[in-house]
Amino acid sequence: MGIDTMTIQHPSRFSWGIFAFVTALIAAFVITQHATFLFGPPIMEVGDIGANALNIIDARSFSDLYGNYSRWGFNHPGPFFFYWYAGGQWLFHDVAHLVASAHQADILAGILLQSGLIAGAISLLATTTRRAVVLPLLIIVATIVLTYAGNAIASVWMPHVLLGPYILLLVACSFLACGRLNMLPLSVLMVCILCHGHVAQPLMSIPPLLVAVAFYAQACRREGSSPSAILRKAIKPLLVSLLIMAIFLLPIVIDLGRCPDCNAARILDYVKRGGGERPSWAQAINAIASLFIFDHHPEGISGLPHIGLLTRRVLAMVLACIGAFAITTIVARRHPGDRGAQALRMTVGFCLLAVALSCVWSSRITGQLFEFNSYFVYGIIFVMAATTVSALAMLTGPVLTGPLPPSLAWLMVIVVATLMPREPINSESNAFDQTPSTQLPYTGRMALINQSAVENWPATVALATWAYRSGSEFQVPSQWAYVFGYRHAFNEHAIRAAGDRVDVWEVGSAGNIMATRRFSSTMYCHITATTPIAELEGAIKSLAALRKDCTLAAFGLPDPVSSPQPAYVDGTVYLQFRSRSAQNAVVLQVEVASTPHAKDVPVTVKVNGQDVGIQAVEQHGPVSVRIPATLWNRSQITTVELSPTDDASRPERDATGSTSHPPLDIRGIGLTYE
């Protein structure tokens, strides 16, 4: 891979015009494919896309410090993509009004970002051959490879968005290694973007950058440059690179100041825990090799402990790597003084390094070997295919010169683009129609979102996005904060500060939300002034029945229609229902089931934000408190808070070692009007 910069010719210059043209061409193709979705009625994010939307909302106020959540309980290192999408929302939705909702603006901004990064790589590779036919051929390769890779260009799902940066990183590092010092800031920028996007990307992106710098320094030394001369020559690109690094490190440094309650501590905690069983080398290599044959479901490999190392998929990967290296090596030897030919061989060398690093990364994955774990490998495949096509064009000599071959190649671009299947984007299954009722304001409130059952979280995150985007705060149980955002973890002080502006929300008809593919806040259980008055007089009523009928909403208890879930470590439970006014005092009775951990634990009861007594959970008999009429009539919607007192004995400890109160298992509630 080494070269002598004194004996090689300068390649064709990079053209900003070609870059702009290719960017527009890719973006136009993708936008046209998804125009109905992009420019259709407003949509609401659910699932992973909804969780990311919460970060984008924070980015719009310059308060987001984290990347997207990891299923292992931490966040990926940085928020670059969220700030990019926040800018897209401002431009395309708020200012230009090109799209009807914020998420459609996210997709449009993502298309432009990915198109620009891929176009940058194509434009650089096009400078290596001095043949006009190569540019349309590279666009054809991009159309085929990236379409069958799963249409990541139009996706804002975080595993997908690493594709464009990784493509440009490999090409930029290759040109840097060939003596193009102006590629240093670009390479550093791609490394920073990738490291913000995924916690494992330092392994995948920093080694190529270091190797590129080493090759550049080696070439300069062969020219006879001293280390001080090399440094003087590199001072400008180096300063720009350091500035880029400082900008990307800023949110990470700010968060480190919050330690031990910081993302770095959570990542280290995951590393210490081990995270689970890792695959064998044979499984890891087969998982990466499966992407070379566009197998979008490699998770089956996780269940094959005795899989062979030399399978058909591994053979396909090996042959692709050998073929690309052999063809570019032949070209480099036939054109020993051509810097473009040397750059092609160098690019394949970086692809091979990236494949090796990918296999190392795959061997460190905990859990199943899903496609999204290594989606950036499709970028390696594209760069390898593009360099091979460019090298083959150089081998043809005069055959592909003249005006006819480029004309035919551009005609092929049109044909291929027409024949390519329309691959659905991730957002089409993670964003639902937003009904007109959701346009009603929900501002200045505190939404307590009762996220409990795992299967309900895609629907509840849509509710959280709607509330937060409407200008209201929300809270979820603490163990869900890594998905919904740590600032939204259960906080009793913030709830108390909200006063009577607190609303308890439950999933309600989550099944209908997911089945009908539409979002409306009316599909959730939420007590309002129009909710029927809860019939609670007489004998204690089943809490599960009241919640199922949505005459009562609860925060801090499992979903009554789902399978039983472990009670929350927060301990505190909120009940909210509509009640009739009282002439005299009201006796509230709450049946709290006795458990080994909760028995005889003092429980503080608050009604409409005011303490009304402390009772002990006994084996028989409900918790019972008397509430003055003035307090009861304070609000048409009654809010009851039950929480173990601070002096409760034997506090539990959660997985992190912090103390928490014993969970409360509430079965029923009743009222007596005196």
* 14/543 Cα distance (integer angstroms): 69
* 228/54 Cα distance (integer angstroms): 48
* 160/157 Cα distance (integer angstroms): 6
Q: How many CB atoms lie within 10 A of CB 537?
A: 12
Mapped onto helix, strand or coil, the DSSP state of residue 660 is strand
**Concatenated DSSP letters for 553-621?**
EEESS--TTSPP-PPPTT--EEEEEE----SS-EEEEEEEE--TTTTT-EEEEEETTEEEEEEE--SSS
Torsion of CA 521, 545, 670, 593, to 10 degrees: -110
Q: Containing H/E element for 593? A: strand 586-593
Q: 220 has which bridge partners?
A: none
Question: Two tokens at 82?
Answer: 């969220």
Q: Do 383 and 400 fall within a single domain?
A: yes
What pLDDT sits at residue 183? 95
Question: Two tokens at 555?
Answer: 């925060």
* 620/674 Cα distance (integer angstroms): 23
Please, are residues 484 and 592 in contact by the beta-carbon 8 Å criterion? no
75-105 tens-digit pLDDT: 999 999 999 999 999 999 999 999 999 999 9
**Concatenated DSSP letters for 318-358?**
HHHHHHHHHHHHHHHHHSTTBHHHHHHHHHHHHHHHHHHHH
In a domain, 5, yes or no: no
What pLDDT sits at residue 6? 32
In a domain, 8, yes or no: no
Q: Do 164 and 263 fall within a single domain?
A: yes
What pLDDT sits at residue 155? 93
Q: Do 557 and 587 fall within a single domain?
A: yes
Q: Do 174 and 310 fall within a single domain?
A: yes
* 102/111 Cα distance (integer angstroms): 14
In a domain, 1, yes or no: no
In a domain, 6, yes or no: no
Q: How many residues does the chain have?
A: 674
Calculate Rg over the CA atoms of the chain: 30
User: Which amino acid, one-letter code, is at 461?
Assistant: V
Q: How far is CA 173 from CA 117, 167, 247, in A?
A: 14, 10, 21
In a domain, 395, yes or no: yes
What pLDDT sits at residue 562? 62
Please, are residues 352 and 321 in contact by the beta-carbon 8 Å criterion? yes
Please, are residues 291 and 381 in contact by the beta-carbon 8 Å criterion? yes
Please, are residues 185 and 237 in contact by the beta-carbon 8 Å criterion? yes
* 364/54 Cα distance (integer angstroms): 30
* 208/1 Cα distance (integer angstroms): 13
Q: Do 329 and 449 fall within a single domain?
A: no
* 320/68 Cα distance (integer angstroms): 33
Of 366, 399, 426, the one marking the end of a domain is: 426
Q: Do 410 and 471 fall within a single domain?
A: no
Domain carrying residue 255 = 16-426
Largest pairwise CA distance in the chain: 101
Q: Do 488 and 523 fall within a single domain?
A: yes
Q: Do 468 and 356 fall within a single domain?
A: no
* 91/98 Cα distance (integer angstroms): 9
Residue 21 burial (C-beta neighbours within 10 Å; 0-12, 13-18, 19+): middle
> How is residue 89 annotated by DSSP?
I
Q: Do 451 and 422 fall within a single domain?
A: no
In a domain, 623, yes or no: yes
Instruction: Name the stretches of the chain with pLDDT < 70.
Output: 1-12, 275, 397-400, 437-440, 509-511, 561-570, 594-600, 618-621, 646-663
What pLDDT sits at residue 662? 62
Cα 524 → chain centroid:
25
Please, are residues 339 and 178 in contact by the beta-carbon 8 Å criterion? yes
* 277/426 Cα distance (integer angstroms): 29
Of 401, 426, 451, the one marking the end of a domain is: 426
In a domain, 239, yes or no: yes
Task: Read off the pTM.
Answer: 0.90
Question: Two tokens at 368?
Answer: 């199943």
Q: Do 338 and 483 fall within a single domain?
A: no
What pLDDT sits at residue 570? 66
Q: How far is CA 525 from CA 460, 466, 552, in A?
A: 11, 15, 8
Contact partners, residue 2, CB within 8 Å, separation at least 6: 215, 218, 219
Please, are residues 450 and 525 in contact by the beta-carbon 8 Å criterion? no
Q: Do 478 and 620 fall within a single domain?
A: yes
Please, are residues 391 and 320 in contact by the beta-carbon 8 Å criterion? no
User: Which amino acid, one-letter code, is at 17?
Assistant: G
Please, are residues 297 and 369 in contact by the beta-carbon 8 Å criterion? no
Question: Two tokens at 80?
Answer: 């670059």
What pLDDT sits at residue 4? 41
Please, are residues 530 and 519 in contact by the beta-carbon 8 Å criterion? no
* 65/361 Cα distance (integer angstroms): 25
User: Which amino acid, one-letter code, is at 159?
Assistant: P
* 605/612 Cα distance (integer angstroms): 6
> How is residue 9 annotated by DSSP?
B
* 46/433 Cα distance (integer angstroms): 11
**Concatenated DSSP letters for 482-551?**
HHH-GGGB--HHHHHHHTT-EEEEE-SSHHHHHHHTEE-GGGSEE--TTSPPP--BSSPEEHHHHHHTTS
Q: Do 326 and 390 fall within a single domain?
A: yes
Of 403, 426, 449, the one marking the end of a domain is: 426
Q: Which of 343, 376, 423, 346 is nearest to 164 (CA)?
A: 376
In a domain, 669, yes or no: yes
Domains: count for the chain: 2
* 212/172 Cα distance (integer angstroms): 9
Mapped onto helix, strand or coil, the DSSP state of residue 122 is helix
Question: Two tokens at 655?
Answer: 């997985």
Q: Which of 339, 285, 240 is nearest to 12 (CA)?
A: 339
